[in-house]
Structure 1
Amino acid sequence: MLRKTMHTCSFHRFGLLTFLFVVGATLVAYYFLPHTSGPDQEFNMANTNELSVNATVQKTPKSASSEVFYRESLPPEKGGESQQPSLEILLLHGQSFNSKTWESLGTLKMLAQHGYRAVAMDLPGFGNTPHLEIGKMDKDRADFLLAFLNTVGLQTPVLISPSRSGHFSIPFLMFHNQRLKGFVPIAPVGTNHCSAEQYRKIQTPTLIVFGELDTNLGVQSLKNLNNLPHHTVFKIPAAHHACYLDEPDKFHDALLDFLAKF
């Protein structure tokens, strides 16, 4: 009886060790073998036909050490083939924001879904773009923006420019307006640096956007930009300076109506 009991215990120990070995080997194999399924793959498969948004760091031709960060959205593929964008959009940003703002707001995705190529850049010293020595004159800032357009292959985009980015967009409008399909200023700074006569010479179609509650830059920029000969005005009710953040749906609707004209 004792012998039989000892044999039984040995058998159980052997069986337990075998079981643990098999389990351990299975876990090791699962860890090292490439997975064919899982949350990451399921996410990618679910988004195969959805919007492609690329975040890219691109060097400008101004200096080999200058890097400008931008986000780009492209129309989603159809039938496994890329769509040719029907329009190009360049989005700048205000003092407290960067290109991520347009992604979070859904603007990049919305524009791509309507067949447009949208590029949102981080201006020098904001977001992921370092401070760059580009000169302090209006022409310097206009030429910097032109260099960026040439680098990323934007031919004649519609330029969207809120608040502080007016330091770049208004000079660009004056010096390089032939490279713009359209202009969407959102209460930009710097509009008082140009005369009414200078504005009247610009033929670029323009959508002037401002918030009803923006009694500072909104009112000032409207007064100056009203001199543009081909403009329409969209005042967003009960919205502040960053009116596109207060009422993104209304802003997007007005923007799409404007873009549909091209």
Structure 2
Amino acid sequence: MLLARSRLGLLLLGALLTFLLYLLLPAARRSRLDEGKRDWWAANGTVRTGTAAGDFPVFYREVPAAAVSPRRPDVLFLHGQAFTSKTWEALGTLALLAAEGYRAVAIDLPGYGDSPPVEMAMTAQGRRTFLEHVFQELGMQRPVLVSPSMSGRFSLPFLLAHGDQLAGFVPIAPVGIKDYTAEQYRGVQTPTLILYGDGDTGLAPQALQNLQHLPQHRVAVLPGAGHACYLDKPEAFHQALLGFLRQLK
């Protein structure tokens, strides 16, 4: 009887140790991965800043990617009225995408941050031309354009005129959506992620009502987030953005 109890005790002890190892080993692997990422940030996480030369100088921020894949599109971040390119640096978005192998660049729109005002930005055609200039100066071919709020005044004219020059479009409750008809939106074939926070009861519903006419769209709603949903729920925002980028061809 005593021998049987001893064997039973050893079996239970072995089962307990196996269970603990099952729990601890994945955590250890994650810890090593996190440590590897920290080492990469220490060596490559410096944000590169500069001003793209040309007729319309524009200030930009960029984190060099570890290894940019030619199959992954560049990503250009615009910003809302109360923000600048610094927002995407502070949020960790540029660094996160760089770690995933994307070339991610954020710019200061004309008259914001360190970019000087330009007269051409007063018209829709001028703002479209400005983005054409930015793509050319930064050497971006068919990038993904991320456009929150006020920057819709720049991104939407470009999308409607040159949607085929974008690999993807991520509007975040942009303004200017009512300037175009449902028929115009239906003519755009750019893959689109309509992204917004469910607490944005102003611009988000209007944007969805109009942008849902884009044929190749999907929708991501961030619970508990407001108009600047990327600030309220950065992890959920990054997850939705990366999910969209990974499914692009």
Letter in 2 for 1:74: P
- CA, structure 1 residues 166+118, in 2 after alignment: closer, same or farther (shift >3 Å)? same
CA contact (8 A) 1:87 1:115 kept: no
Q: Quote the residue 1:70 is aligned against.
A: 60
Q: 1:47 offset after TM fit, Å?
A: 5.8
Tell me by how many angstroms 1:224 deviates: 0.3
Residue number among 213, 219, 222 corresponding to 1:233 in the alignment: 219
| Contact 1:89 1:119 (C-alpha < 8 Å) held by counterparts | yes
Q: Given the superposition, is the C-alpha separation of residues 218 and 110 from structure 1 closer, same or farther in structure 2, using an over 3 Å criterion? A: same
Q: Tell me the number of residue pairs that the alignment of Structure 1 and Structure 2 aligns.
A: 209
Structure 2 matches for 1:37-48, cutoff 5 A? Answer: none
How large is the RMSD of aligned CA atoms in angstroms? 1.6
- Report if aligned partners of 1:74, 1:115 keep a CA contact under 8 Å in 2: no
* TM-score, normalised with respect to structure 1: 0.76
Please name the residue that 1:21 is paired with.
none
Distance 1:93 1:46, change over 3 A: closer
Correspondent of 1:151 among 137, 142, 156:
137
Q: Cα distance, 1:75 vs. partner? A: 1.2
Q: Which residue of 1 aligns with 2:164?
A: 178
Matched residue, 1:117: 103
Q: 1:53 to 1:135 in 2, by over 3 A?
A: closer
TM-score by length of 2: 0.80
CA 1:67–1:47 in structure 2 vs 1: closer, same or farther (change >3 Å)?
same
Distance (whole Å) between structure 2 residues aligned to residue 83 and residue 166 of structure 1: 28
| Structure 2 partner of 1:29 | none
Q: CA deviation at 1:139?
A: 1.6
Instruction: Give the C-alpha shift of residue 131 in structure 1.
Output: 1.1
Residue aligned with 2:122, SS: coil
Q: Deviations over 1:205-246 (max 9, x none)?
A: 000011111111011001000100010001111111001100
Q: How big is the shift at 1:51?
A: 3.0
Q: Are residues 95 and 103 of structure 1, via their aligned partners in 2, closer, same or farther at CA, if it must alter by over 3 Å?
A: same
**Equivalent of 2:45 in 48, 51, 55:** 51
Unpaired segments ≥5 residues, structure 1: 1-44, 77-81
| Within-5 A mapping of 1:14-25 | none
| Counterpart pick for 1:217 among 178, 203, 210 | 203
Confirm or deny: 8 A CA contact 1:52 1:75 kept in the other structure. no
Measure the CA separation in 2 of the matches of 1:235 and 1:47.
30
Correspondence for 1:97 among 73, 78, 83: 83
Poorly superposed stretches of 4+, deviation over 3 Å: 45-49, 82-85
Checking the alignment, whether the CA contact within 8 Å between 2:110 and 2:121 is kept in structure 1 is no
- After TM superposition, give the deviation of residue 113 of structure 1 in Å: 0.3
Aligned residue identity for 1:254:
A
Percent identical pairs in the alignment equals: 50
Write the letter of the residue equivalent to 2:199: L
Give the C-alpha shift of residue 162 in structure 1. Answer: 0.2
CA contact 2:68–2:103 (8 Å) conserved in 1: no
Q: Which has the higher helix share?
A: 2
